A = this chain, B = another copy of it.
């Protein structure tokens, strides 16, 4: 690929003055338009050291309204970042609707360095797969994704290193490491070529920028950004087919019976049994938690279930003996405005635990395919797509060493009614029950339909669902505790 690139491209001052001011004006106006339409954009700058990333990013941002973008410099991950799944640090930086995030280096950087390293042994499992998950998902959500690779030749790099090194204000930029990578220029070149080939898609294209001539490079970066913005703005103005189809019932071919119907809801423990088991389990979870903390294994436990299925009580019994400095309960309700302005997975990525910590989600990302689906809060295309997206996120979690446990707390319709009535009658618990709970209850069948599909599509080998028989609270609480302890112990062995 690189051999086809003509690095001798130059732009003289006259041509530059004719083209560039006009591009800047266009860019400024397109940015405002994209912002008004709520289109989020991601622009990536990768390139050789000293290829001029800093200058070109400045060229790109100066015409734009500074209220509309953020620039992120990606260097080696800090401890907050290194102790979470690889894409955590990028997910938390994804722009909200209408904003642009500009990355100087990106998720490609580490993969490149690893690829160029002598041995391939150090290469993480599936980095290219994870990159594709990330970009495809954001593109499907309406993001503009544009990736520049700034290309200069080996000779030019040497010249630039020498210049930077001889200027006292920039000499610190050129280190031994710079010269070492310079020596490996050809090795890097082939790693870059192969990575670019594997990650060049129409929804997230690479643009190689001939960057030896700064005027030419600026004009190309501006022109390609303008072109991409024009394209994505045009696309945003066509209503999506899915918006029209939204809210229809979704038949699952081949699933005629629900696995929920087979759940034995008569399982129960006597009070005495329960108390004995509870004490044992709580002692065990406390010890296991400290072990996980010591060994830096993170844990995510998520609870879904019918209203009044006893999620709160189960969470309380799970955490009662745990060290509150090592666990967090994240209650998930309707997203606030700030969260709504991001991709729906963004708020979950933000809350992923660092290594050694324990995060409990009280409801979770599955809201997308349950309440959001049933209540038509999102377009059909969006929730249909999200089964895959959820599986991909969970896969990354598990691959990065997280223990992941997913609970569905199951009760039947009669039991729910009994509990609703008990809550209404008890003044200390009346706040727990709202009009919405009664409305949801009326949609029991629609929820069950969504639920069957969720269990079917998101029960994976790496992240299976645990269905908890919850008509008896005692039984449910012990099952939750035992399942979590077992999952953690397995991964700690």
Contact = CB atoms under 8 A, between A and B. Distances in A.
Contacts of A338: 336-338
B32 A67 contact: no
A183 B50 CA distance: 55
A117 to B, nearest CB: 25
Interface stretch (A184-192, A326-334, A459-467): A326-334
A437 interface: no
Interface in A45-82: 53-54, 57-58, 61-62, 65-67, 70-71, 73, 78-80
Given A290-B170, A324-B57, A62 B319 contact: yes
Given A70-B328, A336-B337, 18 more contacts: A29-B428, A54-B324, A57-B324, A58-B320, A58-B323, A58-B324, A62-B319, A62-B320, A66-B329, A71-B324, A71-B325, A104-B324, A169-B287, A172-B290, A172-B294, A336-B338, A337-B337, A337-B338
A71 B337 CA distance: 24
A333 to B, nearest CB: 7
Q: Which one of A80, A324, A326, A329 has the highest number of Cβ atoms from chain B below 10 Å of its Cβ?
A: A324
A365 to B, nearest CB: 17
A218 B53 CA distance: 57
A315 interface: yes
Contact of A333 (B32, B67, B79): B67
Interface string A64-107: 01110011010000111000000000000000000000101000
A25 interface: yes
A323 B54 contact: yes
A9 interface: no
A316 interface: yes
Contacts of A312: 66
A80 B81 CA distance: 11
A459 to B, nearest CB: 27
Contacts of A54: 323-325
Interface in A292-310: 294
Contacts of A316: 62
Contacts of A320: 58, 62
B328 A431 contact: no
A333 B67 CA distance: 9
Interface string A238-250: 0000000000000
24 contacts: A29-B428, A32-B431, A54-B323, A58-B321, A58-B324, A61-B324, A62-B319, A65-B331, A66-B312, A66-B315, A66-B329, A67-B331, A71-B328, A73-B325, A78-B78, A78-B79, A78-B80, A79-B79, A102-B324, A104-B325, A169-B286, A169-B291, A173-B290, A338-B338
A374 to B, nearest CB: 22
A389 interface: no
Interface string A325-356: 11011010100111000000000000000000
A329 B286 CA distance: 46
Nearest to A71: B324
A370 interface: no
**Interface core residue of A66, A67, A294 (most chain B CB under 10 Å):** A66
A322 interface: yes
Nearest to A295: B172
A333 B68 CA distance: 12
Contacts of A382: none
